[in-house]
């Protein structure tokens, strides 16, 4: 077995163990699969808010200033995933290893079901988006091979194959310009490789192009239509033209193109989850918010939601 596969399989198993531990106790085999994603609606005083650190979708109550995960009778120990940090785009995936995976979309305060992946041996995850094209990964890892297929899902549940990446241990992906970039563990090495395919070609069976090896993490990012690499030692996002300094040793990182801010989520010195916002152009930290669950940006106004508080950050400084 190639060394890269050992690394990849180990990471996948750790993720599955973590996600399962965050859910319910062992469920009987006959109950392991939800056959559909129930329609879920927020009440008038609530809205859907994703908690990215623990893969949970829940309701934030604007009157009580409290967040609660979706009822365990519905989730049954499964988890939600969204694109990015889950509050920019309304698309979500719900499921767990060896269960059915479901795709849904939030519209008018209701999460509606749009697609179910019927094969319990396969997983469905949000993979990459540029705000217009939303790509999902259908995957299955065995001792002998990888099934890795990038698809789109229409609102009426129809799949379109974008890239057949079978045989590649694909991990992270971003859309930058006309390309889909993705990372894989290198063969017989502790480093990672970065590959890309040309989305303009509209050829799901095109040969991926290797653009970099000896990369030190599986995470990649995009900014202003360009792919960005992560250097954990120097704490920067970079390419040949751009360098963005991280303000924290963050666990989750987001780059917001539209307003040029860096968003980081991490555990602070008090062992509390915190979100920091940094102006990319000046490097100025605009605000840090301990106890934050997540945030929503509308124009230049960022609203940060936590247990017991709502705070606002005006990017125009007014």
pLDDT confidence of residue 4: 52
**C-alpha to C-alpha distance for 109 and 85, rounded to whole angstroms:** 18
Which structure tokens are listed for 263? 């968003």
DSSP state of 258: T
**C-alpha to C-alpha distance for 148 and 261, rounded to whole angstroms:** 32
Strands (DSSP E) along 177-308, which ranges? 179-185, 192-198, 209-215, 220-223, 226-231, 236-238, 243-245, 252-256, 261-267, 273-279, 285-290, 292-298, 301-306
Domain boundaries, the chain: 3-245, 248-318
Instruction: Name every residue whose Cβ is closer than 8 Å to that of residue 260 and which is 6 or more positions away in sequence.
Output: 279, 280, 281
The answer to whether domain 248-318 has CATH 3.30.1330.60 is no
Residue with tokens 């890269």: 4
- Calculate what percentage of the chain has a pLDDT beyond 90: 73
> How many Cβ atoms from other residues are within 10 Å of residue 1's Cβ?
8
* pLDDT band at residue 34 using 50, 70 and 90 as cut-offs: low
Strands (DSSP E) along 27-65, which ranges? 40-41, 46-51, 56-61
pLDDT confidence of residue 75: 67
pLDDT confidence of residue 28: 42
**Cβ contact 74:38 at 8 Å:** yes
Which pLDDT tens digit goes with each residue over 296-307?
A: 999 999 999 999
The domain 3-245 is classified under which CATH number: 2.50.20, 2.60.40, 2.120.10, 3.30.200?
2.120.10
**Least confident range of 23-27, 108-112, 130-134, 263-267:** 23-27
Which pLDDT tens digit goes with each residue over 44-54?
A: 999 999 999 88
Task: Provide the whole-model pTM.
Answer: 0.87
Q: Which residue in 17, 118, 22 sits closest to 75, CA to CA?
A: 22
Which pLDDT tens digit goes with each residue over 188-218?
A: 899 999 999 999 999 999 999 999 999 999 9
Distances in whole angstroms, Cα of residue 109 to Cα of each of 67, 86, 268? 16, 15, 33
> How many Cβ atoms from other residues are within 10 Å of residue 288's Cβ?
17
**Cβ contact 287:42 at 8 Å:** no
């Amino acid at each position: 077995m190639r060394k890269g596969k050992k690394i990849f399989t180990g990471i996948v198993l750790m993720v599955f163990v973590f996600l399962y531990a965050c859910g319910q106790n062992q469920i009987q085999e006959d109950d392991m699969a939800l056959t559909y994603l129930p329609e879920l609606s927020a009440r008038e005083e609530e809205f859907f808010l994703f908690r990215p650190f623990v893969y949970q979708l829940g309701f934030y109550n604007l009157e009580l200033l409290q967040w609660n995960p979706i009822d365990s009778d519905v989730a049954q120990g499964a988890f939600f995933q969204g694109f990015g940090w889950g509050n920019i785009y309304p698309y979500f995936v719900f499921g767990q290893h060896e269960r059915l995976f479901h795709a849904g979309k939030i519209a008018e305060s209701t999460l509606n079901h749009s697609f179910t992946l019927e094969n319990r041996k396969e997983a469905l995850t949000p993979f990459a988006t540029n705000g217009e094209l939303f790509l999902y990964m259908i995957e299955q890892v065995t001792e002998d091979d990888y099934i890795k297929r990038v698809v789109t899902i229409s609102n009426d549940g129809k799949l379109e194959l974008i890239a057949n990446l079978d045989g590649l241990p694909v991990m992270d992906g971003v859309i930058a310009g006309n390309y889909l970039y993705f990372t894989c563990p290198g063969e017989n090495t502790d480093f990672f490789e970065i590959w890309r395919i040309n989305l303009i070609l509209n050829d799901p069976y095109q040969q991926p192009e290797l653009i970099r090896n000896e990369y030190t993490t599986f995470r990649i990012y995009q900014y202003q239509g360009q792919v960005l690499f992560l250097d954990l030692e120097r704490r920067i996002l970079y390419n040949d033209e751009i360098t963005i300094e991280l303000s924290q040793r963050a666990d989750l990182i987001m780059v917001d193109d539209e307003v040029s801010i860096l968003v980081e989520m991490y555990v602070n010195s008090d062992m509390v989850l915190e979100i920091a916002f940094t102006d990319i152009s000046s490097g100025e930290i605009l605000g840090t918010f301990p106890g934050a669950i997540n945030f929503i940006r509308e124009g230049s106004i960022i609203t940060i939601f936590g247990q017991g508080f709502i705070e606002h950050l005006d990017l125009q400084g007014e």
